[in-house]
Amino acid sequence: MNRTRLDRLLGGLDTDGYLLDASQDDANQLYLSGFTGPDPFLTLYADGEVHLLVSGLEYGRARTEAAADTVERHADYDYEYGGREDRYDMYARFVADKDVESVSVPPRSPVGTADALRERGIDVVVDGDDALGEVRAVKTDEEVDAIRAAQRANEAAMRAAESLLAAADVAGGGDAPNDGDAAAEAVEPGTLLHDGEPLTSERVAEEIEVTLLRHGCALDETIVAGGAQAADPHDRGSGPLRANEPIIVDVFPRSKATKYHADMTRTFCVGDPDPAAREWYDLTERALEAALDAVEPGATGEEVHAAACEVYEAAGEPTFRTDPETETGFIHSTGHGIGLDVHESPRLSSGAGELEPGHVVTVEPGLYDPAVGGVRLEDLVVVTEDGHENLTDYPLEFVV
């Protein structure tokens, strides 16, 4: 945690303190408290100090683990497990005990707590500018190392996925040596086969996820999407994969030890992509290079996004800049910050502000159309004093 930046941004707000009511599932809470509590607890930043209020069940672990100046437990406020209003009374006393009469809270803080504190005379102001998110956006060297380590695990997982695809046979129709397998006869020609069974998105995702677990990472979801599914950037993909079609593999694991994320996307094709898909891949590789070239301190997220858009637009592909209504072409932003959250500040999109050293962002242009499918390529980079360092070490090869 960058304490100087924290003091400057949170200390600069017009309230006496900054209050979080959340569990470790909330990245702000994990960052400010340094504590992995599974149930919601309070963290108050006030006068340069971080104060925690946890249940008795968490107290011992919080004192050992948390990056806080003080840790208190419910019993310190004579609260026994009981009603909702008693709990809010305790919260108000905890805040008042630190000489705090007004608190800023993030926009997605619980309204129940905010309303209850207001009823108890504490001014609760929504911090619409997300000061704590802006603190988190600039990483320390230690945080960058955590993200780099997660990306190493991610590369191992991508290799596992690519190997599974490269080793696949093709059912029925001629491209693969082992197309006469008995089990293969029943499936549609062109379907990818693994051990004679159709190779599905789910099977490839399983291989990715098992590999990540073996490398100390966990994850909730993985995208392995081929054909028309790949034309929807948020489709996770399901069912048998097919030869000669682009297959998007987008993996965003989280280190179990550090809780920091990585993110990478590659697009593969088993067999022969048609000319349109091949052109999309080449364009997207150029858009990735152009956007990466633009990443440096002082450049805006809007400029990086523009660099990717210009490659596509010059080739006649629609983007949100040329057609805000388009449902095909380049239909998302160029990238996002990553850290304890998989999506955080800064953005690489229209209207996005200046990049600073320590920002860690994905760069991920792509093209989508149900008639062709989807192609996306994504690297992960950290902004340095004089440019950027690419944290991704994985080749760009379409046909496997």
Residue 192, strand partner residues = 170
**Residue 1 touching its own copies (CB under 8 A):** no
Which positions from 194 through 233 interact with its own copies, judged by CB under 8 A?
206, 209-210, 213-214, 218-221, 232-233
* Residue 239 interacting with its own copies (CB under 8 A): no
CA distance 384 to 245: 37
8 Å CB contact between 290 and 310: yes
Which residue is associated with the tokens 């803080």? 109
Q: Does 111 bind its own copies (CB under 8 A)?
A: yes
* For its own copies, the closer CB: 112 or 180: 112
Say how many residues touch its own copies, by CB under 8 A. Answer: 52
Would you call 240 exposed, middle or buried from its count of C-beta atoms within 10 A (0-12, 13-18, 19+)? buried
CB 19 within 8 A of CB 44: yes
State the Cα–Cα distance between residues 193 and 210, nearest whole angstrom.
20
Letters for 50-89 (x = contact with its own copies by CB under 8 A, - = none) are: ------xxx-xx-------------x----xxx-x-----
Residue 80 structure tokens: 């026994």
User: Considering beta carbons, is residue 271 or 366 the nearer one to its own copies?
Assistant: 366
131 near its own copies, rule: CB under 8 A: no
Among 32, 90, 100, 114, binds its own copies (CB under 8 A): 114
| Window 341-380: contact mask with its own copies (x via CB under 8 A) | --x-----xxx-----------------------------
Query: Among 11, 107, 239, 353, which residue interacts with its own copies (rule: CB under 8 A)?
Result: 107
Q: Is-cis flag, bond preceding 346, omega within 30?
A: yes
Q: Alpha-carbon distance 4 to 201, whole Å?
A: 46
Binding residue for its own copies, selected from 113, 154, 191, 319, defined by CB under 8 A: 113
Q: Which of 93, 332, 354, 384 binds its own copies (CB under 8 A)?
A: 332
**Quick check: 101 binds its own copies (CB under 8 A)?**
no
305-343 burial, b if ≥16 CB within 10 A, otherwise e?
bbbbbbbbbeeebbbbeeeeebeebbbbbbbbbbbbbbe
Q: Cα torsion at 228, 229, 231, 233 (round to 10°)? A: 180
Q: Does 14 bind its own copies (CB under 8 A)?
A: no
Question: Site residues (CB under 8 A) for its own copies?
Answer: 25, 37-40, 56-58, 60-61, 75, 80-82, 84, 105-115, 124, 126, 128, 206, 209-210, 213-214, 218-221, 232-235, 320, 324-325, 327, 331-332, 343, 349-351
